A and B are shown apart, each in its own frame.
Chain A
Amino acid sequence: MGYNSIVLVKQVPDTANITGDVMKPDGTVNRAKLPAIFNPEDKVALELALQVKDQYGGKVTAITMGPPKAAELLKECLYMGADDVILVTDHKFAAADTLATSYVLNKVIKKIGNFDIIFAGRQAIDGDTAQVGPQTAEKLGLPQITYTEKILELNNGNIRVQRLIDGGHEILVSKLPALLTVVKEASVPRPFRAKRAMAYKNYVPPQLATEDLDVDIKRCGLFGSPTKVYNIESVVLSAGDHENIEPTKEGLGQLIDKLMNDHIFG
């Protein structure tokens, strides 16, 4: 019968490779200096969706909300094997926190309809919040399985999943439709297919903006975001008041004495 999946993907700055000149003197981030990448766990989420399609049939639609530049990301989804992609872009959606983001995504998903599984990454590396997936599920009135490690089985409109929990694992069965958030360890994303990359090289992903969606502007973007950034400080290292200890027998012996006197040792 096949299962239709929707995958939520995001383009993020590569925070793992932040270097000195990325931080501006005023402590803000110079995003232009950061390469934009496919959020790693979203790529794994897409891989799982494609595996479901390979095994059971159905189709995979990738959605992102972001600036026009995020079209690049959607083309990568197509290169990997997604059937459809949608770019949700409008300046009125900009500067959204997780609540406003999930609000718009839920409206987009409702518009698309006809889905069995929604996949999201566990978290996006720019904020590490892990909120957008569950918040979208809540708005759609769907059950969620966070920290998905493995899809064990799909049948009769049910999904059996292994997920991570504190100090172990859990196996759950959920009725579909459901939303899953996926951890990095769940799978290794497949490489781009050369043929698809050729076919979609000049493809322009379809876009949705406020006027295409049944949205209340007051709940979108900065306006619809209850959390606000009040202050930002870059992390600067204080010189630090420390004592130099010689790496010699005497030096180390004195240090040990000191720690014994302070009742840290002994």
Chain B
Amino acid sequence: MDKLSHEVWVYIEKKHDNIADVSFELLSKGRKLAEKLNGTLKSVIIGDDLEKLAKQTFNYGAEEAIVVEHADLKQYKTMPYSRILSELVKKHQPRIVLFGATFVGRDIAPRVASNTLSGLTADCTDLQISDITYMKKEYPKLLLQIRPAFGGNIIATIITPDNPVQMATVREGVMEMSALDKPVDGKITKVPYQAEEIDRVIEIIERYQEESKVNLKAALIIVSGGYGMGSKENFELLKELADLIGGEVAGSRAAVDAGFIEHERQIGQTGVTVRPKLYIAVGISGAIQHRAGMDESNKIIAINKDPDAPIFGVCHYKILGDAMKIIPAFIEAYKNKLK
């Protein structure tokens, strides 16, 4: 087994010419995995003019940035990017490769896994390193890839026992982002780009992308409403509360589907994962898919009229009753304190 590499690679995704948060989160997690492997963390960046970005990855513990730069690579395109990364993986056989479970990550990762015949586990919510016995064989320091399956009703631990390369995607906001106090004195390794015909099979004609105005992940307080809020108008109450206490409004999928609130504010497995200081869940039953996106919040207040609502199983403060009465009362009580 000692022939296996001890390298952990993070594919660095760009967002508006910066590094996407999810990549910093993965570097933070990757650093811990690399420590367990007694290995090294490396970032892989494809694009143009990447020096600055490469150095930023050293703040998160990357000891080397593998950089492929070319003017033709400025924007993400499936064909050249996946081809380049596949060639790098084939050549260096890193032990672990991590991707964000984003539009880009979910476009490139499966192609690289298919090309290099690697195992790939989508949408992991946790990653660990552990010695494993599987089918009566010992596997030291395997990557445990933990993810919800079957619509979130079960949690599966996936392993890739017999492959040199283990790959996983992880959603934005799931891993904690933690920079080092002092950056690593990392090195930048530039790999030349050789264009191939297939790189130009697809041409991007237009791209419109708006920077999302909401950043739920950065919010310290989130007031989240569910289907139990009853209407879009009633959501205004939550908006009022959020404005008062300095929070953002969010919602469950049922609230989004009903049109009470916009999709980009959905919390949960298929929405955003958040870990604010305070999460107030109002009229949310607390299905597992919802809890997956919020149960690591520092403090949770649940307001629900059903005493058996599952949300009460993850909350710190339970308020049983009608949200339409409790929210106005809460707003008033808060205003009184400020006086």
Contacts and interface: CB of A to CB of B under 8 A. Distances in A.
A92 interface: no
B180 interface: no
A57 interface: no
A16 B119 contact: no
Interface string B252-268: 00000000000000000
Given A168-B207, A264-B277, A29 B150 contact: yes
B34 to A, nearest CB: 21
Given A143-B201, A233-B154, A226 B119 contact: yes
Interface stretch (A36-44, A107-115, A122-130, A188-196): A122-130
Contacts of B155: 232-235
Given A138-B110, A244-B318, A168 B209 contact: yes
A225 to B, nearest CB: 8
Contacts of B302: 242
Contacts of A147: 103, 107
A131 interface: yes
Interface of B, secondary structure class, is mixed
B313 A171 contact: no
Given A167-B212, A175-B201, A235-B154, A243 B206 contact: no
Interface string B86-125: 0000000000000000111011011101110111111100
A264 B205 contact: no
A6 interface: no
B185 to A, nearest CB: 33
Interface in B302-327: 302, 310, 312-322, 325-326
Given A135-B110, A143-B79, A168-B207, A249 B159 contact: no
Contacts of B145: 227
Contacts, number: 236
B169 to A, nearest CB: 9
Given A137-B111, A143-B78, A227-B119, A29 B15 contact: no
A98 interface: yes
A98 B318 contact: no
Interface of A: 13, 15-16, 18, 22-23, 27-29, 97-99, 102, 125-139, 141, 143-147, 160, 164-175, 178, 225-235, 237-249, 251-253, 255-257, 259-260, 262, 264-265
Given A226-B118, A264-B278, A165 B160 contact: no
B181 interface: no
Interface string B122-161: 1100000000101000000000110011111111111111
Interface residues of B, number: 86
A169 B208 CA distance: 6
B315 A228 contact: no
B203 interface: yes
A85 B315 CA distance: 50
Interface in B171-223: 198, 201-212, 221
Contacts of B301: 245, 255
The list of the 6 closest CB pairs from A to B, nearest first, reads A226-B119, A15-B151, A168-B209, A135-B114, A247-B321, A237-B313
A172 B106 contact: no
A255 B203 contact: no
Contacts of A102: 114
Which of B148, B210, B334 counts the most chain A CB atoms within 10 A?
B334
Contact of B110 (A127, A134, A242): A134
Given A146-B107, A235-B155, A252-B326, A228 B211 contact: no
B233 interface: no
A135 B334 CA distance: 54
Contacts of B149: 126-127, 232
